[in-house]
Amino acid sequence: MIRKTLAVLFVLILTSGLAQAFEGITEKSRDAVILLAGENEDGTNQGMGSAFFVTPEGLAITNYHVIHGVEKIRGWFYDVEDMNYYWVEVQAIDPVADLALVKVKLPDHKLPVKYLEIESNVNNIKVGEDVMAIGHMLGLDWTVTKGIINHTHRDGLVSPYVHIIQHTAHINRGNSGGPLLNSEGKVVGVNTYVLSPKGSWTGVAYATRGDDVYFSFVQMRDDAKVTRPAMRLKIGTINEWRRNAILQKYPDAKIPNTFGLIVGEVLEEDSWGIKQGVRQFDTLVGIDGFPVNNMDQLDALIAHKKPGDILTLTIIRDYHFILLEYELAEMEFNDFEKFYDERQQRMKEEFSNE
């Protein structure tokens, strides 16, 4: 009985401590979270979202879908003594991560602003961790919700290079671009989606993970754009079924394995892959000594590389293992808006953009 009582007291003390911690974080953080509202040139509304300051000079992070197609943007502080709006300018975009960097045009007397630190170390973002979301859900200003992290690497929900946190803090339309904070007040994610057929809260929320947010932010701040690597290869997972299908079509192909990523398409002679030494039916099984068996593993290994970086590929060709040095290219989008809109449509088929 005594042990049970002590256990209950410990839980109560721990819970009380976390509550006080988050209460303090709320007071410190809400001034760094701003409301964004888009409008057309004729003054009609184009929706609203959230953003948060990341520098004392007034640079803020939000979702790309919050500012996508918006002609003018206004921003508001959490400040009952200052109900004025301030014009917001887009500084850089990263649609691959659904992120954007904006600058709030503030008078000198409003600077420096309070800002939030982004958690860049993925090892400090843990399943079961208590988190808090601040944002403007459903048009209700500066709403705070709490939850826990359910998962730290939901891959491919936004794009192949971006990892997503699944959490239980309530978010809805209007939370997009707002911060997901841990008990230290650091941004572990940017709230982006809810899993729902109707776009309202059902218990599953998604946020772009902090380390990916930081990676994007640094490039947007320093270079005004985000450059991402690409292998420019037509490859796919090889298994027994696909191996047999290829051998039926190409009986002379030498494919001894049913694991890794196979180059299954005929490459043009002037293609990037051919110039790097890759050939049809090569099977990629390793990068820089790390095994590769699916596209998620490939994306994870090259996501934070830079165009021009040299990889050492382990390839199976003609029943032999070979090592091949391979230079990464730069990701290109011939029709960028089409890419983004098509991705958004795919997401809407399964997830609700909030």
Extract the tokens encoding 186: 């650091």
Beta strands in 252-295 (DSSP E): 261-263, 283-287, 290-291
Distance CA 196, CA 174 (A): 15
Tell me the mean pLDDT in the region 103-111: 93
Percentage of the chain modeled with pLDDT above 70 = 84
The alpha carbon dihedral of 342, 348, 351, 354 has a sign of: positive
Q: What is the pLDDT of residue 9?
A: 45
The pLDDT, as a whole number, for residue 347 is: 53
- List, for residues 161-206, the tens digit of each pLDDT value: 788 999 999 888 889 999 999 999 999 999 998 776 665 566 789 9
Is the pLDDT at 77 greater than 80? The verdict is yes
pLDDT at 81 (0 to 100) = 73
Extended beta strands in 14-82, E state: 33-39, 45-53, 59-62, 72-76
Task: Kindly state the average pLDDT of the residues 149-163.
Answer: 80
pLDDT for residue 335 is more than 50:
no
The DSSP secondary structure of 137-163, one letter per residue, reads: GGG-TTEEEEEEEEEEEEETSS-TT-E
pTM for the model stands at: 0.80
State residue 8 phi and psi, 5-degree precision: -65, -45
Residue 333 binned pLDDT confidence (cut-offs 50, 70, 90): low
Q: What is the pLDDT of residue 18?
A: 54
Residue 123 pLDDT: 93
For the segment 221-228, the average pLDDT, to the nearest whole number, is 92
Q: Give the count of alpha carbons within 13 A of 309, CB side only.
A: 18
pLDDT-derived band at 4 (thresholds 50, 70, 90) equals low
Can you name the residues that pair with 181 across neighbouring β-strands?
132, 187
Q: What is the average pLDDT across 239-250?
A: 90
CA 325 to CA 288: how far, in whole Å? 10
Q: What is the pLDDT of residue 153?
A: 86
The half-sphere exposure of 303 on its side-chain side, counting CA atoms within 13 A, is 21
Chain segment 282-314, per-residue pLDDT in tens:
999 999 999 999 888 888 889 888 899 999 999
Report the C-alpha gap between 148 and 169 in whole angstroms.
Answer: 7
Determine the pLDDT at residue 342: 61
Angle formed at CA 164 by CA 335 and CA 312, multiple of 5 degrees: 70
Give residue 320's pLDDT.
Answer: 93
Helix (H) or strand (E) segment spanning residue 221: helix 210-223
In the prediction, which pLDDT does 351 show? 46
- Mean pLDDT calculated for residue range 232-245: 89
pLDDT in tens, 258-287: 899 998 776 777 789 889 999 999 999 999
CB 113 within 8 A of CB 58: yes
82-96, 143-157, 216-230: range with lowest mean pLDDT: 143-157
pLDDT at residue 125 tops 80 = yes
Query: Which two three-digit tokens encode residue 104?
Result: 């709030």
DSSP 87-152: EEEEEEEEGGGTEEEEEE---GGG-SPP---B---GGG--TT-EEEEEE-GGG-TTEEEEEEEEEE
What tokens does 127 get?
């399943």
**Alpha-carbon separation of residue 119 from 7, 27, 88, 125 (angstroms):** 32, 19, 25, 8
Q: How far apart are CA 336 and CA 57, in angstroms?
A: 30
pLDDT of residue 249 exceeding 60, the answer is: yes
Share of the chain above pLDDT 90, in %: 47
Q: Within 13 A of 80's CA, how many CA atoms are on the CB side?
A: 0
CA torsion 45-46-52-55 (nearest 10°) is: -90
Q: How confident is the model at residue 157 (pLDDT cuts 50, 70, 90)?
A: low
pLDDT value for 10? 43
For residues 305 and 313, the answer to whether their CB atoms sit within 8 Å is no
Considering only residues 255 and 210, tell me which one the structure prediction assigns the higher pLDDT.
Answer: 210
Cis peptide before 112 (omega within 30 of 0): yes
